[in-house]
Structure 1
């Protein structure tokens, strides 16, 4: 059994404005950096042996802060499959600017114009979660809220409608074995 620690990145300037980030490469705000430093001891307590990170700056910066105090921290493995859900034309917009389609998207009924279908996100996250669980564990994965939800969907059958959003930053821990997952912690901030 491998413990897979899913960390949602810290806050960006867009987080506070409720702007959808998707694949837009927005880095952490100063508050986001401080919040990641506060979360770091909870992550370090697991003594991760492997670190996997989304290619987006906010995730890479979060990973760098989390491992900064470790002795012999492993070099993070960048995996594009952990990048945030592509939101197409909605990136940079707020839910109020999007209107009623925002709630329909959250319910899985709508794909943003130019965005990534939810099934595509689930498929790539399923493969990434499987591969992460095969690495020396515990495995720290630093990614995004949308892919944390997708991991919980593919690993546990918990769709987004059954979850409160993951905080920025937050820690979710899955025990993964033979393609099956068990939720140990969710949204620890």
Structure 2
């Protein structure tokens, strides 16, 4: 079977719904990196995220025939991933640890040993601030800031009303600002 290089996302989805494995590989190629980063940030454990990534792909493959296109595919996909993470954390009763080290942009990386120390301390403080957020606020913050989702998409992914999502984001930003201000990281 061909790799479907000329197919649109919608055409690939329709082929996937007919259980075309090559179309599924092509479709997931676009989402693989943002999905994996979302899972790592959500559970805080790269090895667990790898397992959750596989679980997510299996669930997507299994439930894709039921996808009706009422929301953007990315919203539906991240909703599946969100549920996989939530279920895994509930089963393990583990609080999600956010690994901020992997989220710092390359241009922010240190160039001297002193810069590296400051960068490491900053990462640790930001990681602690993120960990201090309640789970729902942290999830909304990560979906918005690191996955680039619109608030309406986040509402669909989390199953929360839009106003609740907006409140979670507002409180998360306020708490992060306060924590970082207390640590003299922002003015």
Normalised TM-score (structure 2): 0.30
Q: Which gives a bigger RCO, structure 1 or 2 (Cα 8 Å, sep 6+)? A: 1
Which has the higher Rg, Structure 1 or Structure 2?
2
Normalised TM-score (structure 1): 0.29
Higher share of residues assigned helix = 2
